[in-house]
Amino acid sequence: MAAVRTVVSPAADRESVLGLAAGLLACRQAGSDELLASLREREALCSTAIGHGIAIPHGRCPGLSEPRGALIRLQRPIDFGAAEPVDLLFAMAVPGHYTHEHLMLLSELAEHFSDPAFRDALRRAPDETALLHLLSTHTPGVC
């Protein structure tokens, strides 16, 4: 996956987190407005929260040549349209032609986030550099 970025954010609601995610995912091939529209469109179908305080907002952008990702850890959990609040998000944008690959990435991410030790380590990481290190060492097939 290209350009995986990490951030610790004070964002207070789903809309501001999606805007932050779109900005982190943006590149020359896909601007933040296009990415935000794609993330919103997917969230409108149903929440991308997967439990344990995790959400994986994702969307497709025809201009992308490879997937992009961003890990966001919130300072406080927020309502993400699911049973429990969310404080860890992995936002992802994939090329428009990705179908099988998109599902495989989502599956791999969900599997990694199902590990309580990994979730706890992400929540305890002292800064964005530590988050990126954890992500790259625990999800080598994804990041």
Range list of β-strands (E), 48-136: 49-51, 54-55, 58-61, 68-78, 86-95
Hey, is 55 helix, strand or coil?
A: strand
Q: Does residue 72 carry a pLDDT above 90?
A: yes
CATH of the domain at 90: 3.40.930.10
Domain hosting 50: range is 2-138
Q: Is residue 31 part of a domain?
A: yes
Q: Is residue 69 part of a domain?
A: yes
- In one letter, which amino acid is 59? G
Q: Is residue 60 part of a domain?
A: yes
Q: Is residue 91 part of a domain?
A: yes
pLDDT per residue over 51-67, tens digit each?
A: 999 999 999 999 999 99
Residue 57's nearest CA partner among 70, 66, 67 is 70
Q: Is residue 42 part of a domain?
A: yes
> Looking at the annotation, which residues are catalytic?
58
Domain total in the chain:
1
What is the predicted pLDDT for the residue at 1? 58
What is the predicted pLDDT for the residue at 83? 87
pLDDT per residue over 77-134, tens digit each?
A: 999 988 899 999 999 999 988 888 888 988 999 999 999 999 999 999 999 999 988 9
Q: Is residue 143 part of a domain?
A: no
Are residues 67 and 104 in contact, defined by beta-carbon separation less than 8 angstroms? no
